[in-house]
């Protein structure tokens, strides 16, 4: 099991009792992980990965035609986003 990093190289770390250091390290690591997970981009990526895993699970059980319908939002979203950006750019610059 890997040890979590120190909460920082702060001057107060020298005064923390040895028996409390490990608990503070884990608490700091969990807090940093929670902050990283609640960022909007990470939530979007997590939802997309879960959706992709669900589609792959359906494919394993033989729902091939359903997979093509389920994957369409993932395939079309970048194209529609690019088109919307281009149209907005054209509207404001020409």
pLDDT in tens, 39-93: 888 888 888 888 888 888 877 877 777 777 777 777 788 888 899 999 999 998 8
What span, in angstroms and rounded, lies between the C-alpha atoms of 18 and 12?
13
Is residue 57 situated within a structural domain? yes
Taking the C-alpha atoms of residue 24 and residue 26, their distance in angstroms, rounded to an integer, is 5
Which are the contacts of 81, defined by CB distance < 8 A and separation ≥ 6? none
Cα 16 from Cα 1, distance rounded (Å): 23
Q: What is the span of the domain harbouring residue 68?
A: 40-93
Task: Identify the band that residue 5 occupies on the pLDDT scale cut at 50, 70 and 90.
Answer: low
Assess if residue 12 is contained within a domain.
no
* pLDDT value, residue 88: 93
Which of the pair, 3 or 47, is modelled with greater confidence?
47
- Evaluate whether residue 33 is within a structural domain: no
């Amino acid at each position: 099991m890997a040890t979590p990093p120190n909460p920082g190289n702060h001057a107060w770390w020298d005064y923390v009792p040895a028996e409390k250091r490990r608990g503070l390290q884990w608490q700091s690591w969990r807090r940093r992980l929670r902050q990283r997970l609640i960022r909007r981009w990470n939530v979007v990526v997590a939802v997309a990965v879960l959706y992709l895993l669900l589609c792959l699970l359906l494919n394993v059980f033989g729902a091939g035609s359903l997979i093509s319908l389920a994957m369409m939002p993932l395939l079309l979203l970048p194209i529609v986003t690019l088109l919307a950006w281009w149209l907005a750019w054209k509207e404001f610059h020409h």
